[in-house]
Amino acid sequence: MKRPWEKETLRLPEGHGFKARDGNAIFIADRGAVRFEYPASWTMEPTDDALEFHDRPPPDDDCVLKFSLMRLNPQIDWSGVPLGSLLEGLLTDGHDQTLVGKVKTRRRGDMRLAWLETSSIDPKEQREGRCRACLALRGSILPFITLDFWPEDTPRFSPVWAGILRTLRIGEYETRLTGEDPRYWPSQAP
């Protein structure tokens, strides 16, 4: 069954405080559950299990950013989940992917991030492809973000990845966008 997606573009009120770097746009998912910057020229399209951002329209794209959002049970304390091990297992266990370097982890306030890079052979192109992946966690919000590209394009897309990680925000709900208090959204509370 295809999951329905709804794209809504809102005009921000004056004095909203959001400012993307030149050439970037701001992506906000689920009223502020997740927010990050991405290149404004990229196109976005929903798939069955993620939102995909392409540097150029497929099949001429060289890079695909995929975003999915998981909501965990808010009654459980998820602070002890080992994000690095979880992410490594997601991408390498039972898959034909090789870890490139080590898993990196950071903490920003009560948000935790883990990211890594893998290498694999693209089945369609029959050449090496790279994947950078990030799991982040704040409260019960767990976004999963990947960036797929060719190794020779690393200099082009490393700044995109760094920008996503730098601007990633979780659970910073914006009442300025909807005028509603997130505490009263059904099953949407932080």
Over residues 73-102, the pLDDT tens digits come to: 999 999 999 999 999 998 887 778 899 989
Tell me the HSE value of 189 on the side-chain side, using a 13 A CA sphere: 7
pTM: predicted TM-score of the whole model, two decimal places: 0.87
> Which residue reads 């809102």 in tokens?
10
Q: Over the Cα atoms of the chain, what is R_g?
A: 17
Domains of the chain: 43-154 (3.40.1000.10)
Mean pLDDT of all residues belonging to the chain: 88
d(CA 33, CA 1): 24
Residue type (1 letter), 107: R
Over residues 5-29, the pLDDT tens digits come to: 677 666 666 777 778 999 999 998 8
